[in-house]
Amino acid sequence: MKALTWQGIDKVGIEQVADPKIINGSDAIIKVTSTAICGSDLHLYGGRVPTLLKGDILGHEFMGEVVETGRNVKNLKVGDKVVVPFNIACGHCYFCEKGMFSACDNSNPNPSIPLMGTGQAVSALFGYTHMCGGYAGGQAEFVRVPYADIGPLKVPSGIDDEQVLFLSDIFPTGYMAAENCEIEPGDTVAVWGAGPVGQFAARSAFMLGAGRVFVIDRFPERLELARQCGAEPINYELEDVYETLQFETGGTGPDSCIDAVGMEGHGHTIDALMDDVKAAFRIQPDRAHALRQAIRCVRKAGIVSVPGVYIGLIDKLNFGMAFNKGIKFKMGQTHTHKYMKPLLDRIMNGEIDPSVVISHRLKLDDAPAGYKMFQEKSHECTKIVMHI
């Protein structure tokens, strides 16, 4: 089959590889019909996450049709149309049973590395390094999905892929980020990053009762997309984010702040420049400017919710500020499985059209150019979908 593989720093390519096979009884093989490139893929593309090997198949946002099932699979049959969550979870361990799917105990075949990185090994992810399980990803014609009774969500066969594809990651991620803000009716929420995750976070914040939502970025087309859902855009290249947020909230600050930027944060202040230097020499991968700013802006005893991915030891973190204001942090990989069905219902009810974030539709063969474009945010690129 054809698959997109990582070939080195800032380099991906399309290769001919073997078809995936059933390995365990709970596996299913999915023929991928649509897949997307995620902001998280950019961390891999840039070679910033350790234990990715040349030749690894990327992709964790995908959906398709079931073409084969292992002998223990009961909920799926050949021909079903499914969306697959990006985390791999067993469904039976303590964490899965409590709905904390991204903390699954059993899905990572080689937990020794993450064990050292994180103290305890977290769940495996599709197409996301050997530290996260080494599973082949879904930017390919076919993909093997373990624990097929647990993860894949069956969707109506008539529905357009673009309506449901993002249930695999970014819609649940934006939603969980907003849910983590424990929004009370009329609350003010500020979202850093107007990328796909930020867009869904802003929309979800409104769904959960926020009165005002600010969205911060520097790309006009992304800010415009945020404005369309009722959010108030702040272009950080034109305005001072802290001053604007304080002014708009009477010096109180937003009730909660969402960092939907993560480790590729950009900025012009001294902390951001120091991060840039360290990242360039690959001493430290995380550029946490947005996180620091969120901590500074949030109201006293507010919440900072972090869907943006960080992986290393962030320095210059204003933790004293966080302590003295009594901030609550909520973060982590999304417990995607938990949100897929309720969010599918919201899509079916017409509460949201997830396809609004899509700016480009490509063929799998054009994915390498897509990565470059998405990394550079050129051609007003917000989200790329490949139909296979």
Ligand X SMILES: NC(=O)c1ccc[n+]([C@@H]2O[C@H](COP(=O)([O-])OP(=O)(O)OC[C@H]3O[C@@H](n4cnc5c(N)ncnc54)[C@H](O)[C@@H]3O)[C@@H](O)[C@H]2O)c1
Under the rule (CB under 5 A), what is the footprint of Zn ion? 38, 40, 89-90, 93, 96, 104, 106, 169
Q: From CA 30, how far away is CA 145, in angstroms rounded? A: 7
Residue 18 binds other proteins, judged by CB under 8 A: yes
Rounded to a whole number of angstroms, the minimum distance from the CB of residue 382 to ligand X is 7
d(CA 182, CA 201): 13
Among 35, 87, 107, 188, binds other proteins (CB under 8 A): 107
Cα separation, 219 vs 210, whole angstroms: 24
Binding site for ligand X (CB under 6 A): 38-40, 42-43, 169-170, 173, 192-198, 216-219, 222, 236, 260-262, 265-267, 289-290, 307-309, 333-334
Q: Does 209 bind other proteins (CB under 8 A)?
A: no
- Residue nearest Zn ion (C-beta atom): 38
Of residues 82 and 291, the one with the C-beta less far from ligand X: 291
148 or 309: whose CB is closer to ligand X?
Answer: 309
Residue 146 contact among other proteins, Zn ion, ligand X, none, beta carbon within 5 to 8 Å by kind: other proteins
- Contacts made by residues 360-365, CB under 8 angstroms, sequence distance 24+: 360/384, 360/385, 361/385, 361/386, 361/387, 362/386, 363/387, 363/388, 364/2, 364/4, 364/14, 364/35, 364/139, 364/140, 364/141, 364/388, 365/2, 365/14
For residue 342, give every residue at least 6 positions away whose Cβ sits within 8 Å of its Cβ, in sequence order, or none. Answer: none
Q: State which residue, 45 or 142, has the beta carbon closest to ligand X.
A: 45
Q: How far is the CB of 287 from ligand X (least distance, A)?
A: 8
- Report how far apart, in Å, the C-alpha atoms of 207 and of each of 163, 284, 303, 347, 353 are: 18, 37, 18, 12, 13
Helix ranges (H only) for the chain are 39-45, 94-97, 112-118, 161-164, 170-179, 196-207, 220-227, 241-248, 270-280, 289-297, 319-325, 336-348, 367-376
Per-residue binder mask for other proteins (CB under 8 A), 119-158, x = binder: -----x-----x--xxxx---x---x-xx-----------
**301 near other proteins, rule: CB under 8 A:** no
Closest distance to ligand X from the beta carbon of 164 (Å): 17
Shortest Cβ 373–ligand X spacing (Å):
11
Helices (H) and strands (E) in the chain, counts: 13, 17
Q: Under the rule (CB under 8 A), what is the footprint of other proteins?
A: 1, 3, 5, 7-9, 13, 15, 17-26, 47, 50-51, 53-57, 71-72, 90-94, 97, 105-113, 115-116, 124, 130, 133-136, 140, 144, 146-147, 282
